[in-house]
Structure 1
């Protein structure tokens, strides 16, 4: 049983890294979406064109994350 656990330890580490990277990116995207919508943060400091550009890019990232559930950390 110990030998089997050792065999899967590397695979488990890679899966954990992939999930952690995905979660960090998703958290970053949602934080940015909140900041560009919050008047106390960036909403009043950037113009509507910049907000639209940022929002479009953030939505593209979320779409990519949805379409690539099994993407590797490097992706």
Structure 2
């Protein structure tokens, strides 16, 4: 039954974004998001990338890069707001 769950998660990872991320990047992002939520609940503030890296035992630059690629995408047709 584990393969059903794996197939569903893989399909979601491939089809839920405008820009497809490699599966290993999606796995890293999921781990970082879980650690982010846990840290936020325990400390009542947003964690820094360094704190997440320490908690996950990952290099800080990998955490920063993963968070950067997971950023929100906007349309080039969206109105530009100054300020």
TM-score (norm 1): 0.36
Give 1 or 2 for the bigger CA radius of gyration. Answer: 1
TM-score (norm 2): 0.33
Higher relative helix content: 1
Report 1 or 2 for greater relative contact order, CA contacts < 8 Å, sequence distance ≥ 6.
1
